Structure 1
Amino acid sequence: MYAIVNISGKQFKVTKDQQIYAPKMAADVDASVEFDEVLLAEDNGTVSVGAPLLAGAKVLAKVLAHVKGDKVIVFKKKRRKGYKKKNGHRQQYTKIQIEGITL
C-alpha cells in the first residue's frame, strides 16, 4: 500500500514505516502530524486517483527530528575586476516517519 501525498507544496510517494525528509514544519519532536492532501492511493492492486484530492484519505506521521541538509556553496566572481563573493546555505528539513495510511 502506498500513497502520493502533498506535504508543504511538495509531493512524496510514501509507504508505511518509511522515513522521509520534508520541508521544515512547525511541529515538536515526537509529535503526531496528519496530512489530508492525498492525491493518489494504491491498495492491493486497486489504484484510487483523486480529482484533485481523495476524499477521506489521510496519512499519519510522527516527527523524528529537525535537521539541516548538506551545505551548498554559492561563489560569484567577475574576472579582472577583483570581485569575489562566497556564500553558503543549509536548507532545514523535518525528518518524519509514516505511521499509517487510511483511505
Structure 2
Amino acid sequence: MYAIVEIKGQQFKVSEGQEIFVHRLDAKEGDQVTFDKVLLLAKDDTYQVGQPTVEAKVNSTVLEHLKGDKVIVFKKKRRKGYRKKNGHRQSFTKIKIDSIA
C-alpha cells in the first residue's frame, strides 16, 4: 500500500515505515504530523485518484531537523574580472510515515 502525498509543495510517494526528507516543517522533534493532501491511494491492485485529493490521511512522526549538503553557486564572466561565490545549505526535516488511513 502506498500513497502520493503533497508536502510543502512537493509530491512524495510514501508507504508505511518509510523515512523521507522534506523541507523544514514547523514541528518539534517527536511530534505527530498529519498530511491531508493525498493525491493518489494505491492498495493491492486498486487505485483511487483524487480530483484533486482523496479522502485519506497520512500520519507521520518528526524524527529530526538537519541541513543538507552545501551547494556552491559560482558566477563568472570571462575577461571582465567578475566573480561571485556563494554557498547554500537547505534545511530539511526527516520524518517517518506511521500510517496511511
TM over 0.5: yes
Give the superposition deviation at 1:84.
1.4
Give the superposition deviation at 1:79.
1.9
Return the alpha-carbon distance in structure 2 between the equivalents of residues 88 and 78 of structure 1: 18
Q: Does 1:100 align with 2:85?
A: no
Aligned length: 101
Give the superposition deviation at 1:81.
2.1
Residue type of the alignment partner of 1:72:
V
Identity of aligned residues (%): 57
Residue type of the alignment partner of 2:75:
K
Residues 75-84 or 42-51, more deviating: 75-84
SS in 2 for 1:64: strand
Q: Deviations over 1:8-65 (max 9, x none)?
A: 110000000000001111000010000010010011211111111012x000000001
Partner of 2:27: 27
Partner of 2:61: 62
Give the superposition deviation at 1:80.
2.1
Please list every run of 5 or more consecutive structure 1 residues that lacks an aligned counterpart in the other structure: none
Root-mean-square deviation (CA, aligned residues, Å) is 0.8
Return the alpha-carbon distance in structure 1 between the equivalents of residues 25 and 8 of structure 2: 8
TM-score by length of 2: 0.96
Q: Pairwise mapping of residues 57-96 of structure 1 onto structure 2 (< 5 A)?
A: 57-96=56-95
> More strand per residue: 1 or 2?
2
SS in 1 for 2:25: coil
Give the superposition deviation at 1:66.
0.7
Partner of 1:41: 41
